[in-house]
Amino acid sequence: MEYIIIIISAIFVNNIVLAQFLGICPFVGVSNKISTSIGMGGAVLFVITLSTIVTWLIQTYVLNALGLHFLQTIAFIVVIASLVQMVEIILKKVSPALYSALGVFLPLISTNCAVLGVAILTIQKEYTLIEGVVFSSSTALGFGLALVIFAGIREHLDLMEVPKGMRGVPIALVTAGILALAFMGFTGIV
Amino acid sequence: MNQIQNLTKGFIKENPVLAQLLGLCPTLGVTTSAFNGLGMGLATTFVLVSSNLVVSLVKNFIPDKVRIPSFIVIIASFVTVVELVMQGFVPALFDQLGLFIPLIVVNCIVLGRAEAFASKNTVASSVIDGLGMGLGFSMALTILGALREILGSGALFGFKFIPGEMILVFVLAPGAFIGLGYLIALTRKLNK
């Protein structure tokens, strides 16, 4: 039951993009087409889940064990950056098909604050490893969901008559605001 | 380019948020009030100036291939400094900004200036560039924070001057997106 609450809360109520403002750059940057946003969502799901597992283990067995809590930020960013690099190298060798689907998005992800954000949130919320995995993967699903919905809207937006000064990013942000308003409807269900 | 231009280019013309569209996450996330926006802006300014200073000092000793990881470690060290100082001296603001303080490390403005400016320029101009960009970032955050605070709760810097109910949605998540959208459109108009 508690896992279901974590899942619903992470995907809808506390949606990482629309309620917590993490991962805005890829949200605005690669949300022009539905197909690219599905690719990006997949890559983020993969990296966030993996990095949460690794950073959780490091926090518990290295930082907490040695009393080095203040090194959290440095340790996590170094781990995540190298992890993304490693994933890229391994995918290229092991599964070229998956690499060609996700590959272009991987370098973008290391600067995605959602990855570091979810890793830190998992520690702050004092989740166990399994809860952390459930939390991080459903947060990533929430990211993918917001991205795909937004891409769908933006595909239509291209055909609309938009005032000159508002074209591009400004109208996209206003649209995201209305989408965030819609997601506020989920408040209170858990 | 003279140093005054170097300082002021970050204010409007190359404003990191409103013109270059970098660092949108903290911009949207912390600007529920003008004070929070200003606090976040100044914290980021400190990291920008210090990391630009150190990067421009060590730029000749770092091999080209490992420069990005080295920059990230330098930035992360200064973010840790900010984290500990804020936790010690302004715990209330630290709690308000929460997750976004450690996330300064992935703010693309900081790494962007280290890579695009400090790794190629002298120490003095790198520091001034960092200061200008940081102040531009602070300005953008304070303006958006003030806009949301006035429209959302009729107050500015915590001082309530419009009595009664206001448009609550502006302090909530949707208001951040909508407010920033209009600010960017306005900046484009000014830059024309």
Mean pLDDT by 10 residues, chain B (192 residues): 80 85 87 90 94 92 85 91 92 88 87 87 91 93 92 84 83 91 90 81
For chain B, which residues make up each domain, given as ranges? 3-191
Chain A CA closest to residue B186:
A165
Task: Give me the pLDDT at residue A103, please.
Answer: 63
Which of B102, B173, B176 has the CB atom closest to A120's CB atom?
Answer: B102
**Are A180 and B174 a contacting pair at CB < 8 A?**
yes
User: What's residue A102's pLDDT?
Assistant: 67
Sequential pLDDT tens for chain A (190 residues): 788 888 988 889 888 888 888 888 777 777 777 877 887 788 888 889 999 999 999 999 988 888 888 888 888 888 888 888 888 888 788 878 777 766 666 776 766 788 889 999 999 988 899 999 999 999 999 999 998 999 888 888 888 888 888 888 889 899 999 999 998 888 888 7
Per-residue pLDDT, B171: 87
What ipTM does this complex have?
A: 0.85
Residues in B whose CB is inside 8 Å of some CB of A read 21-22, 24-26, 28-29, 69, 72-73, 76-77, 79-80, 83-84, 99, 102-103, 105-108, 111, 169, 172-178, 180-182, 184-185, 188-189
Q: What is the pLDDT of residue B86?
A: 92
Nearest chain A alpha carbon to B29: A21
**For B181, nearest residue in chain A (alpha carbons):** A170
Kindly report the average pLDDT of chain B as a whole number: 88
- Using an 8 Å CB-CB cutoff, list chain A residues near B28: 21, 24
Chain B partners within 8 Å of A177 (Cβ): 174-178, 181
Q: What is the pTM of this model?
A: 0.87
Q: Where are the alpha helices (DSSP H) in B16-102?
A: 24-30, 34-58, 67-89, 91-97
What is the C-alpha to C-alpha distance for residues A18 and A183, in angstroms, rounded to an integer?
7
The reply to whether A34 touches chain B by the CB within 8 Å rule is: no
Cβ-based contacts of A78 with chain B (< 8 Å): 69, 72-73, 76
Tokens found for residue A129? 């490893």
Question: Which residues constitute the domain of residue A21?
Answer: 2-186
Q: Nearest CA to B22 among A84, A15, A28?
A: A28
Map residue B160 onto helix, strand or coil. strand
Residue B176 and residue A21: Cβ atoms within 8 Å?
Answer: yes
- pLDDT for the residue numbered B66: 82
Identify from A30, A47, A72, A74 which residue to disrupt to test chain B contact, counting B C-beta atoms within 10 A and taking the largest count.
A74
Instruction: State phi, psi for B137 to the nearest 5 degrees.
Output: -65, -45
Cα of B81 vs its chain's centroid, Å: 17
Cα–Cα distance list, A12 to A7, A63, A190 (Å): 8, 32, 10
Q: Which residues 116-175 in chain A show a CB within 8 A of chain B?
A: 116-117, 120-121, 124, 165-166, 169-174
User: What's the domain count of chain A?
Assistant: 1
Residue A125 CB partners (closer than 8 Å, separation 6+): A135
Q: What is the 3-state secondary structure (H, E, C) of A80-124?
A: HHHHHHHHHHHHHHHCHHHHHHHHHHHHHHCCCHHHHHHHHHHHH
pLDDT of residue B155: 82
- Which residues of chain A lie closer than 8 angstroms to B84, CB-CB? 70
Q: Output b/e per residue, A74-98; b: 16+ Cβ within 10 A.
A: bbbbebbbebbeebbeebeeeeeee
Cβ-defined contact of B24 to A28 (cutoff 8 Å): yes
DSSP code at position A13: I
pLDDT of residue A110: 64
Query: Does B108 contact A170 at a Cβ distance shorter than 8 Å?
Result: no
Nearest residue, CB atoms, A121 vs list B79, B99, B108: B99
How many whole angstroms separate alpha carbon B20 and alpha carbon B73?
A: 24
